[in-house]
Amino acid sequence: MIIKSQKSWYTSENDVTPEKLYLNRRSFIAGTASLAVTASVGMGAGNAAFAKNDRILAPLPFRDSGYGTAEPRTPEEAVTSYNNFYEFGTGKSDPAENAWRLQPKPWSVKVEGHVSRPGIYDFEDLIDMAALEERIYRLRCVEAWSMVIPWIGVPLSSIIKKVGPTSGAKYVAFETLADKKQMPGVKSFFNVLDWPYREGLRMDEAMNDLTFIAVGLYGKELPNQNGAPLRLVVPWKYGFKSIKSIVRMNFVEGQPKTSWKKSAPSEYGFYSNVNPEVDHPRWSQKQERRIGEFGRRETMMFNGYGEEVAHLYADMDLRKNY
């Protein structure tokens, strides 16, 4: 359940374990086999993943949006070392190991299709850095694990308003950079996905208050492995909708092709709303493992954001439109 105005149970910066404490603790616990996070993410000593990826991440100014969850945040080292970013490899530690090759500055995004102001926008022209806000969202991966992440960014709607969609725009399609020189998972042959990575949203989903473009997390710029310099966050959908390192936004009339649906249409649909009632053909979606915790928890319909988004699907059969 998320809140917009601050309520008594809102988890403020001061209530949760401060990031500094996690970081200090990291040197203390590095190498300790009992470390819950390290054990559950299946990696070696936490620091190893940072060995090559030493881009200095600038702190970002932000205001508290009031969007929060009372659950503790997933430690930063888990958020930045247990990733899915297949352009850098399919292993969970591959992105942290390999994404140092990505050059997120300078960056531009091509905006086209049914918009009144198409063009190639520099990152700085698309994102109003004076309007950054923090949102603490649950991310529920289709692989049945989840995290709680303090993102920094702007609502996607603020960007959409800037480029002015026209009446033909029924969906927005996104694409990730696909550059063999920077991304070792993008190859000439035997690719796991058909690059570029593609995602899409219906316009009403894209304009929803919750839909967010993140440019940072934990108070700093996005690490490359998390999708620098800008990635989508759609907290009521499975994590694969949250496309990283976006270079293209196309406003289109028909439902766009998306990478996972194209690769396995019987397993992944366009909507991909978190739904404990609809199992993945190969595993249940009823429960999830919160990274950093032992045991499992019940998965919530729409990842717990139903109050904000259930109306978008009121007339749809979500078993068919998975």
Q: Which of residues 154-183 bind ligand MTE (CB under 6 A)?
A: 176
User: According to the binding rule CB under 6 A, does residue 201 interact with ligand MTE?
Assistant: no
Minimal distance, residue 91 CB to ligand MTE, in Å: 12
Binding residues for ligand MTE restricted to 103-142, rule: CB under 6 A: 139, 141
List Cα–Cα distances, 175 to 82, 193, 248, 273, in angstroms: 22, 13, 5, 20
Residue from 242, 258, 272, 299 that binds ligand MTE (CB under 6 A)? 242
Rounded Cα–Cα distance for residues 251 and 159 (Å): 12
**Rule CB under 6 A: is residue 272 a binding residue for ligand MTE?**
no
Determine, following the binding rule CB under 6 A, whether residue 221 of this chain makes contact with ligand MTE. no
Nearer to ligand MTE, 89 or 113 (CB): 89
Residue nearer to ligand MTE on the CB measure, 93 or 208:
93
Task: Name which of 114 and 244 has its Cβ closer to ligand MTE.
Answer: 244
| The residue type at 276 | P
Could you give the string, one character per residue 81-100, with x where binding to ligand MTE holds by CB under 6 A and - elsewhere?
Answer: --xxxxx-------------
Q: Closer to ligand MTE by CB, 226 or 275: give it.
A: 226
Nearest residue to the partner ligand MTE, using Cβ: 239
Question: In terms of CB distance, is 114 or 195 closer to ligand MTE?
Answer: 195
Contacting ligand MTE within 8-67 (CB under 6 A): none
* Closer residue to ligand MTE in complex, CB, 165/322: 322
Sign of CA dihedral 49, 135, 40, 85: negative
**β-pairing verdict for 246-252 and 287-290:** unpaired
Find how far residue 121's CA is from the centre of its chain: 21
Cβ-defined contacts of 13-16 (< 8 Å, 24+):
13/64, 16/72, 16/73
What's the closest the beta carbon of residue 199 comes to ligand MTE, in angstroms? 8
22, 197, 270, 302: residue in contact with ligand MTE (rule CB under 6 A): 197
DSSP letter for 226, please: G
Per-residue CA distances from 109 to 14, 115, 222, 226 (Å): 36, 14, 17, 18
What is the rounded CA–CA span in Å between residue 17 and residue 7? 19
Write down the number of H helices and E strands in the chain.
Answer: 9, 13
Contact positions vs ligand MTE (CB under 6 A): 83-87, 139, 141, 176, 197, 226-227, 239-240, 242-244
